Structures are given as C-alpha cells and as structure tokens.
Structure 1
Amino acid sequence: MKFRSKKGFLMISVVIVVSTLMLYLLFSALNNTNKDLDIWIPSIVLILAVPLFLLWILVHTYYVLENGELKYVSGPIRGSIKIADIRQVTKNTTLWVGLKPATARNGIIISSKNYSELYISPVNNNKFIESLLEINSQIKVVDHKNDPIP
C-alpha cells in the first residue's frame, strides 16, 4: 500500500524562496557579465540543480508498505525497515534532527531495532498506523499530543 507525504508550509516556502533566489542570481549574473558561457556553464548547472533537487524531494516523497517492509522514498533518499523490527510509533510530533524522509511537520517517529528514529509524514497518520498495526500488532503507539507536558 502506498502513502503520499504531506506537503508542509515550511517545505513549500523553502522551495519557493530558494528557487526564486537562485533564479534571481542566475539572471543577474548573466546580465552583469560578459556573454562567455563557457565560464558560466558550471555555475548555471549548480544554480539550477539546487531548486530542482528541492522540488524533487517535495514531489517525490512517499512510503510503501509491502512484503513486510516499510519502504521510504524522498528524492534521492531511499531505504526500508522491516515492520517486524518496529517497536514504537510516536504520532503527531516532529523530529528536527536525524533521518527525515518527510516534507511536513506533525508526522510520525518510528523507533525500531535497526534505526534509532526515522521521521515520516504521511498525509493521514492514523490510516498509516492502522496499516502498520495490521501487519505487526505488537507496535506500541504513542500520541504526542495527548502526553502530559513534563
């Protein structure tokens, strides 16, 4: 079963701002210099690669549950976790540091034997967790919004 990733305001804003800035730099550099493009080709490629890379991540992030594995794809970031190895799922939270094949906040942190923490952001957290629990009912589910503040 395939699950798309939420598109968060922060990620969309970063893509728009970086793309606008890079295109502005490209056009201003080309207008304010000589027209010898042999020198500018590497710069043009790099300036265009950054927004395309961010757009690739924004558009091509999803999660697949099949053959007893959770497979994740986020642009060039790809991997999988055996669902049997998942110990805990924390929903409605955000992980700021670590492996984050995600494009939004308020997602899911998956704790397993192999990875300390993996953060993903499916469109519907509850539906994703239900699908995980159908495969491995031993997964502990923690709702971060319902936890008391320490």
Structure 2
Amino acid sequence: MKVFRSRQDPLMDAMIIGLILSMIVMMIVTLRTEEATFIEFVTIIGLPTFFMAILLLPRPRYIIDSEYFSYRSGIFRGKIAIDKIHKIEVGKTLWVGFKPAAARKGLIIHYNRYEEIYISPDGNDNFVNELLQYSPAIKIVRSA
C-alpha cells in the first residue's frame, strides 16, 4: 500500500481562504443590518458554504493498494478498482467535475465507461508508475 499526499497550490488556497473571508464579512454585515432576507441567506447558503470550505482545507490524500485506488479529501471519500481505470491524462487540469485535489496540472483518471476524477498527487509520475505496476494496460496521455 502506497500513500500519496496532494500538492497544495496557492491558487486553491487563495480561493478557499477568500470564500471563508467573504462568508465572514457577509455574516458581519448581516448582523449589522438585521434584514430578514440577509439572515435567511446566510443561514441557508452562507453557513453550509462556510463549513464546507473549512472541511476542504485538509490536504487530500490518495492510497494505492493491489486492487484499489482510494481517495480522501475532507468529507469526500471513495475508491476505484484499478482494473476499471483505462486512461490517465497527465499534466492537465479539470475545472468542472469531481476534484478531490488541491492543485492544478494533476491527473485526470478515466475509469468505467464515462466516469472521470481529477487528482493532484505530489509527484504525478510516481503516482502513475505505481498504478502501472498493478495495471500495465492503462493508457497514459501526457499534456504538452
């Protein structure tokens, strides 16, 4: 079993910190104005967003064993059978979709028929080489 930590990108850190700060400012403004619509907005949207951002602060990690690739990022966890992975795109960034990642220029893992996940291990090549040990049939596509 091999454990990989996620790279931490300053852009992602800035986005999470900016989100948290904007929620704090919005809550302070709401408390000062005491308008019901703002209070409802903060209660329904602001607090869950704030807590989700805090849950995403821990660095994601990825685990490879002989059968599965597993990921953990805050409250998100999952596992993918290595034999279901058919393609990995190296050095690309997926801006839309499921991303248990904390950096750009990571890996897009295509598995099953149409499913994909974006991760950003600390050392893309080491991660790919570890997966290829268990399934050499995986197609590797490197971005220019």
Q: Normalising by structure 1, what TM-score?
A: 0.79
Instruction: Report what 1:148 is aligned to.
Output: none
Alignment pair present for 1:104 and 2:103: yes
Q: What SS does the aligned partner of 1:127 have?
A: helix
Which residues in structure 2 correspond to 1:22-101 (within 5 Å)?
A: 22-33=23-34, 43=42, 47-101=46-100
Are the structure 2 counterparts of residues 115 and 82 from structure 1 closer, same or farther at C-alpha, using a change threshold of 3 Å? farther
Structure 1 runs not aligned, ≥5 long: 35-39, 146-150
Are the structure 2 counterparts of residues 71 and 124 from structure 1 closer, same or farther at C-alpha, using a change threshold of 3 Å? same
Q: Which amino acid aligns with 1:4?
A: R
Deviation >4 Å, runs of 4+: 40-46
Partners of 1:98 and 1:22 in 2: CA distance: 24
String of CA shifts for 1:34-65, please: whole Å, max 9, x gaps.
9xxxxx69946863442331132231422111
User: What is the aligned-residue identity percentage?
Assistant: 32
The answer on whether the counterparts of 1:88 and 1:141 sit within 8 Å (CA) in structure 2 is yes
Structure 2 runs not aligned, ≥5 long: none
Partners of 1:110 and 1:67 in 2: CA distance: 17
The answer on whether the counterparts of 2:56 and 2:73 sit within 8 Å (CA) in structure 1 is yes
Instruction: Report what 1:123 is aligned to.
Output: 122
Q: Which amino acid aligns with 2:94?
A: L
Partners of 2:43 and 2:60 in 1: CA distance: 26
Count of residues paired in the alignment: 140
Q: What SS does the aligned partner of 1:59 have?
A: coil
Q: What SS does the aligned partner of 1:97 have?
A: coil
Partners of 1:133 and 1:123 in 2: CA distance: 17
Q: Which amino acid aligns with 1:125?
A: N
String of CA shifts for 1:96-143, please: whole Å, max 9, x gaps.
222222221100011222443221111110111111111112212111
Instruction: Report what 1:5 is aligned to.
Output: 6
- How big is the alpha-carbon RMSD for the aligned residues of Structure 1 and Structure 2? 2.4
Partners of 1:33 and 1:111 in 2: CA distance: 48
Instruction: Report what 1:143 is aligned to.
Output: 142
